[in-house]
Chain A
């Protein structure tokens, strides 16, 4: 069988091979009584609409604004993040990694796609791709350049390969000029990539 993923034949009534094979899986499992269709709708709705990087941005903004929470987050990520209502699937064992001028943290799963769903939602395609998985551990500075991030040579880059069930959330450095901001306003500065470690938080002047 061919599995050419670069060509989706979705024009007209023609169905792609993957559409057909996915439909077959769904139909068979529903007909045999393994799953109810409403369970599928619930999962799609949850990860399309309810769980995403805004969760993680709230965690980071609180850590920036509240030194006590920051301390707790760094000591026990699961408990601190759980106190904001985030956890569960791909978030039972959470570790926060704080970026500083001396150390920049960056997260990868070289073996597949482990990612902190509970705080960031589902991973972007590049995170699951061979280029990122192969190079993040061996040439992180080169990968960061492709994201437009140039760090001083003296900044140590610490790469975290998610080989177990721990899930990592990077706490990016708080941008200058944000003193006294509310957590809501701070959260707008926190991008998904800054919490993976392939980006930096937005500066105030970068807000739309």
Chain B
């Protein structure tokens, strides 16, 4: 979707301002927002891709006005509502007013430690041979799905070259809308900076993205 999250190439946000000796978290509620979000992720109620889709689906003005962890809090609230885990009355009350719809085992410290240690690999067996190989010239499709995609707007319609065949990976465009993992070949594609940003841009810039096969067409 063409939401506020897809920021590459936008103007007007000002300079990058690094913070000296930045702490990992800036407030105690940020720690909790981070941990609640990761822990409930382990409960497998929704996929990480679905969470990302929900986050970028916030109205642009709201997305841009929220702090980073504020964005996580609001999106988690929305997901709890969408998936029937909690009601708006409960969120307002700050307490559960009814038991969980179906019993489940609570996520424990051991579960999250295991999640941190193992992560979640996204490579899958390939259903078909890869269509492209390193060196192939490709064009990123001009596409504007209203649902989740990882093809950033700045790359759409532009010509690049495959630099690496990464493997066959879960396709977020499908996984985010509960359409299953639908694995596709994933490639690293390199674009010349001037192809993306015009003749007046820095001639010594290259930009690489990861692109799934359905994002690409041969040249």
CB of A81, distance to nearest CB on chain B (Å):
12
Q: What is the CB-to-nearest-CB distance from A142 to chain B, in angstroms, rounded to a whole number?
A: 9
Q: Are B35 and A43 in touch, CB under 8 angstroms? A: yes
- Say which size band chain B's interface belongs to: 35 or more
Q: Given A18-B29, A88-B116, A163-B150, answer yes or no on A156-B55 (Cβ-Cβ < 8 Å).
A: no
Chain B residues with CB under 8 A of A112: 5, 52, 55-56
Q: Nearest Cβ in chain B — how far from A111, in angstroms? A: 5
User: Which of A18, A21, A34 contacts B85 (CB under 8 A)?
Assistant: A34
Binds B, one of A54-62, A122-130, A177-185, A200-208: A122-130
Provide the bound-state CA to CA distance between A198 and B9, in Å.
18
Is the C-beta of B217 less than 8 angstroms from some C-beta in chain A? no
How would residues 43 to 65 of chain A score, 1 for a CB under 8 Å from any chain B CB and 0 otherwise?
Answer: 11011100110000000000000
Q: Does chain A have a CB within 8 A of B106?
A: yes
Q: Is B136 an interface residue (CB 8 A)?
A: no
Could you tell me if B201 and A138 are in contact, using CB atoms closer than 8 angstroms? yes
Which positions 17-56 of chain A face chain B at CB distance < 8 Å? Answer: 18-36, 38-44, 46-48, 51-52
Write the nearest CB–CB distance from A107 to chain B, whole angstroms: 10
> What is the interface of chain B mostly: helix, strand, loop, or mixed?
mixed
Which of A43, A112, A118, A129 has the most B CB atoms < 10 Å from its CB? A43
CB–CB A138/B197 < 8 A: yes
Is the CB–CB distance between B52 and A25 below 8 Å?
no
Q: In the bound complex, do residue A93 and residue B122 qualify as a contact, i.e. CB atoms below 8 Å apart?
A: yes
User: A39 — which chain B residues lie within 8 A by C-beta?
Assistant: 35, 39, 42, 106-109, 111-112
Q: Is A175's beta carbon under 8 Å from chain B?
A: no
Pairwise interchain contact A156-B206, C-beta atoms closer than 8 A: yes
Please provide the chain B residues from 33 to 56 with a CB less than 8 Å away from any CB of chain A in the complex.
Answer: 33-36, 38-40, 42-43, 52, 55-56
Which residue of the partner chain A has the closest CB to B76? A25
Q: Of A3, A23, A193, A198, which is within 8 A of B94 by CB?
A: A23
**CB closest chain-B residue, reference A112:** B5
Judge whether A137 is part of the interface by a CB distance below 8 angstroms. Answer: yes
A16 to B62, CA, bound (A): 18
B113 touches A93 (CB 8 A): no
How far is it, in angstroms, between the C-alpha of A129 and the C-alpha of B5 when the chains are bound? 11
* Separation of A52 and B92 alpha carbons in the complex (Å): 36
Check A10–B27 contact: CB distance below 8 A.
yes
Do A138 and B9 contact each other (CB < 8 Å), given the known contacts A16-B29, A159-B207?
yes
Contacts A111-B150, A131-B17 given; 20 further ones with Cβ under 8 A? A18-B69, A22-B32, A25-B33, A25-B76, A27-B95, A28-B96, A31-B96, A34-B107, A40-B39, A43-B34, A43-B112, A44-B31, A89-B117, A92-B121, A110-B154, A112-B56, A113-B68, A138-B8, A140-B202, A161-B207
Give the A-binding residues of B (Cβ under 8 A): 5-11, 13-19, 22, 24-29, 31-36, 38-40, 42-43, 52, 55-56, 62, 64-70, 73-74, 76-77, 80, 85-86, 90-96, 99-100, 103-104, 106-109, 111-113, 115-123, 150-152, 154, 166, 169-170, 172, 186, 188, 190, 196-197, 201-202, 204-212
Query: What are the 6 A-B residue pairs with the smallest beta carbon separation, nearest first?
Result: A5-B67, A110-B8, A164-B210, A31-B96, A40-B35, A24-B94
Can you offer 5 A-B residue contacts whose CB atoms are under 8 A?
Answer: A24-B91, A36-B108, A93-B122, A156-B204, A163-B150
